[in-house]
Structure 1
């Protein structure tokens, strides 16, 4: 699964700056930054196989309540993003990242020893706050050190992590359960976060150029925020992105119940089904990267969104035809098609939202990360909490949110789909 990221405004002087002589080399640098991204991603999906064990441990009466382990994490993740961008521009990347890792590791320990389900939810919120640091600062650190083709090379390798981790995370969670307790899933998170903390501390120096440090100023942040909100493209495509994130979160939150405990009863095959669907998203992300320069962000995202709505309506029709329980192969095929199409919308919506606010990119991207994540978590929880033992809530949620997204995009472009219609 992919969340909104923080971008750094390009600056001509930085473009020409040589790479620093100290710090990790190219391969090690990519490894550290990729691990920063992996900690964020794996903390969502590897917990899914542990839902039944957690339900038994805390005697959770309603299985839908387990979905809040995902949604509250995303709330913390969204809230944290609005803090780390401005803080790192003032205090530096290294200090802020290490503090965020301390929050993440402390919250993970709290989760391992939670005496109640409420405490576990609280720990997950704090985990999300801590994990947001890695997501925001990884992009900032890449931009600090590399530019041009070198930056593109680093980002391509890091993107591959986001394509692979969601495919493997449930399998890792399933493997941890073989040790006998759901606590081991959090042990794996603790180990991964601990490795990152040690590796980053020992090998990654401060990357923020001293001349680009900014004092913390509520006035400047307020001005940047007003500029962001007043941009029709930024607000419109940011909202569209948040609604599509809601589709993803609705699916992820109810995936364990759909594929395992509540409907298809796949057991140990649940990670394989989840990986198949995630693989469809990964494939389309790579295709989008190849096609976007030729066809443009508007054409690809608008066409992908219309196709997504059409397939979602087919998904609803299939659900109704089989009374909410279609054959697994058919459901996986249609769901994978929708996940394939959704990846033509989200990265392009993100870029279109950021395009008009380059002069305040740091604050704008932090705000968009906060806004789209919380919007996605809210709508995703509505889909997930509607799970009734059938596939219909996911299909209806996709069709409803997809149609609403199409209306928002049409408003944003003043009805001019498939071509650039506005500039700000």
Structure 2
């Protein structure tokens, strides 16, 4: 299958290439988080950060700013197209990565990380709109699962790449490497990606129109439970990312093995997304994801038990954590596709507001979970259970209490 742009656009791109490209674009945000996790201690020490959990702010500030930034690019992508917003975000990513590589003060680092996160939010918002331009329903869920499998594979190995850089150079070279990856991605987008926005769907840059479209996308009952449910589940993962170096490296005493252990648990998300891409069209995104969240709750209950009665056992923590992350492969892409289903004509605005709540809300949840770290796995385990149970309640609200149904695509909401 070939994806074509608007009629005047002569570029074409195959589905497989589109999957890999979109995955790379979305993975750049994960790379700038996970790739520098092994360097957190070096960065905090060299730049004069205080001790304790303050090093987590290097991650948390980026996530918070990225979430806030998601409010903006969707409206511009609905007006000017997808390509210009992607190229702007990639340029900002490159410039700020190089500035961070030169920074000499911890608080300046946090400011630059915040600005980078805000200006590169298009890398989270626009790819989803591109996929929605071309697909809907379970087919969109299938493609998003393939995208997730590819882009998750990148941050899975990112800590190991960061660790490899540290063997030969300082932490600053990690950000130089990230800037080079962004330049390569920009060249790829420039030469190969067609414009996927239908000219008939272009929206005006008008505050009332933008606000209306976002409001429509936000308050839709069929979507909001999935958006907020995803926010809580991703927030639990962000809590893991924020505290992973302390939890795995220090509490469980894995030290230099941290990148390998972290990557091994996250690798389950790759496997589960690939499996989801195979089964979602057969069973439906709702049936798969509703089953997944129920199993997630059960595993989280076991995680809570293990945190109290096997508190120092890595042999209990790792399989359970890998299972939790693996289950997200049956939740994230499916929840996101269901939430975007009604919004073909305002995909950019819908992606912006939904991504804002998912990412900013998840960043706040993740910050709270990370800062609750007390030298044990107990706060994190309890957070997993609370977030998963709350996600099930929210999804039940959107489904009016009737889970596991396979529905025909709902009527599209017009902007």
What TM-score, normalized by structure 1, do the two folds share?
0.85
Contact 1:173–1:185 under 8 Å retained in 2:
yes
How far residue 245 of structure 1 moved from its aligned partner, in angstroms, is 0.9
- RMSD over aligned CA atoms reads 3.2
Does 1:325 find its partner at 2:312?
yes
Shift of 1:34: 4.3
Look up the match of 2:163: 174
Q: Where do 1:393-404 residues align within 5 Å?
A: 393-404=379-390
Q: Is the 8 A contact 2:79 2:205 kept in 1?
A: yes
* 1:407 and 2:396 correspond: no
Instruction: Write the distance in 2 (CA, Å) between the matches of 1:245 and 1:136.
Output: 16
Counterparts of 1:232 and 1:146 in 2: how far apart (Å)? 21
1:307 shift after superposition:
1.4
State the Cα deviation string for residues 346-386 of structure 1 (Å, max 9, x = none): 22221222234444332112100011111111111111111
Q: Cα–Cα, structure 1 residues 229 and 58, in superposed 2: closer, same or farther, change >3 Å?
A: same
Q: Which consecutive residues of structure 1, in runs of 5 or more, have no partner in the other structure?
A: 1-13
**Mapped contact 1:100–1:129 kept (Cα < 8 A):** no
The 8 Å contact of residues 146 and 274 in structure 2, kept in 1 or not, is answered as no
Unaligned 5+ segments in structure 2 are none
- The CA distance in 1 between the partners of 2:379 and 2:347, in whole Å, is 37
Aligned equivalents of 2:303, 2:386: Cα separation in 1: 12
CA distance in 1, matches of 2:96, 2:48: 22
Indicate whether 1:346 and 2:335 are aligned: no
Aligned to 1:288: 276
8 A contact 2:128–2:351 mirrored in 1? no
Question: SS state of the match for residue 82, structure 1?
Answer: coil
Aligned match of 2:374: 388
**Matching of residue 307 in structure 1 with residue 295 in structure 2:** yes
Confirm whether residue 183 of structure 1 aligns to residue 169 of structure 2. no
Q: Which moved more, 1:91-100 or 1:169-178?
A: 91-100
The 1:415–1:212 alpha-carbon spacing in structure 2 relative to 1, beyond 3 Å, is closer
Partners of 2:341 and 2:18 lie apart in 1 by: 28
Distance 1:386 1:298 in 2: 33
**Are the aligned partners of 2:145 and 2:274 in contact in 1 as well (CA < 8 Å)?**
no
Instruction: State the match for 1:72 in structure 2.
Output: 61
d(CA) in 2 for partners of 1:127, 1:115:
17
CA 1:397–1:83: 2 relative to 1, 3 Å = same
For residue 214 of structure 1, give the secondary structure of its aligned residue in structure 2: coil
Cα distance in structure 2, aligned partners of 1:346 and 1:22: 30
Quick one: distance in 1 between partners of 2:130 and 2:342? 23
Question: Does 1:277 find its partner at 2:265?
Answer: yes
Deviation at 1:20, TM superposition (A): 4.8
Partner residue in 2 for 1:56 = 45
> How do residues 92-103 of structure 1 correspond to structure 2 at under 5 angstroms?
92-103=81-92
Deviation at 1:221, TM superposition (A): 1.7
CA deviation vs aligned residue, 1:230-267 (integer Å, no higher than 9, x gap): 3112222111111111111011111111121x212323
| Structure 1 residue corresponding to 2:238, chosen from 249, 263, 266 | 249
* Secondary structure of the structure 1 residue equivalent to 2:312: coil
CA distance in 2, matches of 1:278, 1:71: 19
Tell me: CA distance 1:146–1:344, structure 2 relative to 1, closer, same or farther (3 Å): closer
Over 3 Å counting, the alpha-carbon distance change for 1:267 and 1:207 in structure 2 is same
Q: Is the 8 A contact 2:26 2:151 kept in 1?
A: yes
**Equivalence map 1:10-409=2 (5 Å):** 20-22=9-11, 32-141=21-130, 158-201=147-190, 208-260=197-249, 262-322=250-310, 324-326=311-313, 328-409=314-395
- Does the residue aligned with 1:268 lie in a helix, a strand or coil? helix
The 1:202–1:235 alpha-carbon spacing in structure 2 relative to 1, beyond 3 Å, is closer
State the alpha-carbon separation in 2 of the partners of residues 162 and 409 from structure 1: 26
Q: What TM-score, normalized by structure 2, do the two folds share?
A: 0.87
